Structure 1
């Protein structure tokens, strides 16, 4: 999710108006906050930290999508896969990870106490 969408959702969830947010952020007026919410501008580092405090979230959570979109090592397919993964429920995410690990030849991490393939554990 883009930072402007994240900010709009957080503002709505916290019941904060544009002027409420502007009051909480150093060197940011209503026009600046409106520009952030529209995606016309990006907040600076100090402003991001203040936004994170205002919304009660880690600053990294505000920039996660931006950072991933700037990662030159990620292909468009990786972005699509991540977006699809995030749309799944927890059980579906686990199943998708299992399929991906199997396809990549990586063994899946077994939980302690999980019997090995082929049946129950043997007693000593």
Structure 2
């Protein structure tokens, strides 16, 4: 989940308004907090630490998605694929994994079981 979504969910869960959050964060006004919640800006390190304290969560929990999105080992296509995968329901995710494994030449665990059962019948 992106940091702006995480912040919005935490604010809603804690019942905090934008002005409540702005008051708790040093050097952050209402406009800045609104920009964070829209995903237009990212908080700095000190602000992240203050946000984590305000919401009662580890700072790493706020940064998990951001860190993965900055992973230099992932290509833009991998990020797009991951976003598309996360938008699918569980059944669709399973089907997509079957197709991807087949394309990569890595049979799925279910595919191996079907082949074994077929060989035993022969």
TM category (shorter chain) comes to 0.5 to 0.7
Higher mean C-alpha deviation, range 66-75 or range 80-89: 66-75
Which residue in 1 is equivalent to 2:82? 82
Give the RMSD, CA atoms, in angstroms: 3.3
TM-score (normalizing by structure 2)? 0.65
C-alpha deviation, 1:9, in angstroms: 3.6
Rounded to whole Å, the distance in 1 between the matches of 2:113 and 2:37 is 51
C-alpha deviation, 1:17, in angstroms: 0.4
Which residue in 2 is equivalent to 1:117? 115
Q: How many residues align?
A: 117
TM-score (normalizing by structure 1)? 0.64
Unaligned runs of 5+ in 1: none
Rounded to whole Å, the distance in 1 between the matches of 2:116 and 2:109 is 17
CA 1:99–1:42 in structure 2 vs 1: closer, same or farther (change >3 Å)?
A: same
Unaligned runs of 5+ in 2: none
2:47 paired with 1:47:
yes
